Amino acid sequence: MGLTGFEVEVQRETEDGGFVTEDMTLSMGPQHPSTHGVLRFVVRADGEVMKEAIPDIGYLHRSIEKIAEKVGWHGFIPYTDRVDYVAAMFCNHGWTMAAEKLGGIEIPKRAEYCRVIADELCRIHSHLLSVGTMAMDIGAFTPFTHAIREREYLNDLFEELCGARLTFHYMRIGGVGWDLPPGWTDKVIHFLDRFEPIVDEYDRLISFNKIYVERLVNVAVISEEEAIDYNLVGPNLRGSGVSYDVRRDDPYSIYPELEFDVPIGRGEVGTLGDCFDRYIVRMREMRESCRIIRQCLRQLPDGPVIARVPRAFKPPAGDCYVRLESARGDMGWYVVSDGTAFPYRCKIRTGSFAAISMTQHVSRDLMLADLIAVIASFDLVAPEIDR
């Protein structure tokens, strides 16, 4: 099998008697049921045990960063949805935050609250998918359909809010696109009342199931130093025990006014920093998001939902770097403006990019089935990696 582009060093050994053993090179992907998007891993394996899994990305590269330079500040917002379509609100938020920082625009309080509510609902949306697909990859198909069932309620809520179920295009430079519809806040509370016991049911169904735990525990243990060195962020980083969350430690928007905990991995089952810790951090984050949404809905002020921003938005020349806590972690937007109506450069630093770069290092001496567990526990989404 010829591997495009790069050579994999295959180890050959000749034992006594002239018996030659050679590593097996497998190509996992790009079409594969469980690689969370179009990813490819070239696996060099000795039977079931992998020596190395080299990721090969770029199948979903849509040159979004270059498109930013062509479509202008406002026109780029729908493209940001596609950067990470599983958690699109965060991408909208990042871009609009960067544009507002460059343009010196102050947005109304109500808009901030709407943004945070949308963000946290999107976080639940994304984590449900992540947790569901992780269970499915480990072989339990039922939690996936239950997660999708809960996601359907969220899809209905989002559809009422902004007209879309996946790529929301909800936020604008200066605020949000539409105000909360009448009766929507009651529906959100209704959903949260229903959803919080379901998270407990999930724990009963799958989180502490013996077989599930055995598959995830002590697999791909990542220490704190390694996690920071490879720039892991979000639940991946917190699963290794580092207590850092952009919402709490480097707050933006109205997060200083909100009260919430940041779950971190404690190694309660297995070793600290294994796949199980990363998984359970996501489960707990869903509960915290419910808490945040309730607070926001209680404290929601009145007012406009968008500031006046000129159609031909021309922020002064300069650059800025904003970060926000996306579902996959700290998403960094480095935006350079040259004073025209078109951004000069937009660089999106996403959590999945760093996580997949770590896969090669982590995959030594894992089994093939464990590679799936690792990919799922990192919550990789290919569009975010390739942009």
Partner 1 sequence: MPLDATGVHARLRERFGEAIGDLAGTGRDASCSVEPARIVEVCQFLRTEPALRFDCLSNLSGVDYPKRNAIQVVYHLFSYPLRHWIVLKVDAKRDDPVVPTVCDVWSAANWQEREVFDLLGVTFTGHPDLRRILMPEDWPGHPLRKDFVEPQEYHGISTSRESLLRT
Partner 2 sequence: MTEYPSMESLVRGLIDSGAAPAGVPAWIHQLLAMLIFGGIVVFGFVLPIAGITTWVERRVMGRIQSRIGPNRVGPLGFLQWLADGVKNMLKEDIVPSAADGPLFRAAPYVVMTGFVGSFAAIPFGGSLIIADVNVGILYVTAVTALVVVGILMAGWASNNKWSLLGGIRSAAQIVSYEIPAGLSIFPIVMLAGTLSMQGIIRAQGAAPWAWYLFDNPFTFVAFFVLFVSALAEGNRTPFDLPEAESELVAGFATEYSGMRNLLFFMAEWGNLYVIGAIATTLFLGGWQIPWALDDHPVLRNALQFGVFFTKSYAFVVLAIWLRWTLPRIRVDQMMEMCWKYLVPIALVNFLGTATWMVLFPDGVAPVRWLLLLVAVVAIAAFVRRVAFHIRYARLERRHLSFNPLATARSPG
Residues of this chain that interact with partner 1 (CB under 8 A) are 4-6, 57-58, 61, 63, 65-66, 225-226, 228-231, 242, 244, 249-250, 318-321, 323, 330, 332, 334, 336, 344-345, 347, 349, 353-354, 357, 361, 386-387
Pick between residue 2 and residue 33 the one whose CB is nearest to partner 2.
33
CB of 145 to partner 2, least distance (A): 4
For 158, left (φ over 0), alpha (ψ -120 to 50), or beta?
alpha
Position 139 contacts partner 2 (CB under 8 A): yes
Position 137 contacts partner 2 (CB under 8 A): yes
CB of 128 to partner 2, least distance (A): 13
Pick between residue 185 and residue 357 the one whose CB is nearest to partner 1.
357
- Residue 51 corresponds to which amino acid? K
**CB contact at 8 A, 112 and 174:** no
Pick between residue 276 and residue 353 the one whose CB is nearest to partner 1.
353
CB of 71 to partner 2, least distance (A): 28
Position 135 contacts partner 2 (CB under 8 A): yes
**CB contact at 8 A, 59 and 38:** yes
Separation between Cα atoms, residue 33 and residue 19, nearest integer Å:
36
Query: CA-CA distances (angstroms) from residue 41 to 27, 109, 299, 357?
Result: 6, 46, 47, 11
Position 53 contacts partner 2 (CB under 8 A): no
Count of residues interacting with partner 2 (CB under 8 A): 39
User: What binding mask, one character per residue, do residues 339-368 give for partner 2 by CB under 8 A, x or -?
Assistant: ----------------------------xx
Pick between residue 341 and residue 368 the one whose CB is nearest to partner 1.
341
CB of 6 to partner 1, least distance (A): 6
Pick between residue 379 and residue 386 the one whose CB is nearest to partner 1.
386
CB of 223 to partner 1, least distance (A): 13
User: What binding mask, one character per residue, do residues 11-50 give for partner 2 by CB under 8 A, x or -?
Assistant: -------------x-x-----xxx-------------x--
Pick between residue 85 and residue 244 the one whose CB is nearest to partner 1.
244
CA dihedral for 153, 157, 159, 165, sign (positive or negative): negative
**Nearest C-alpha neighbor of 295 from the set 372, 163, 189, 378:** 189
142 binds, among partner 2, partner 1, none (CB under 5 to 8 A by kind): partner 2
194 binds, among partner 2, partner 1, none (CB under 5 to 8 A by kind): partner 2
318 binds, among partner 1, partner 2, none (CB under 5 to 8 A by kind): partner 1
Backbone angles phi, psi at 230, to 5 degrees: -90, 5
287 binds, among partner 2, partner 1, none (CB under 5 to 8 A by kind): none
Binding site for partner 2 (CB under 8 A): 24, 26, 32-34, 48, 135-142, 145-146, 149, 153, 156-157, 159-160, 181, 183-184, 187, 190, 194, 206, 209, 211-212, 214-215, 367-370, 372
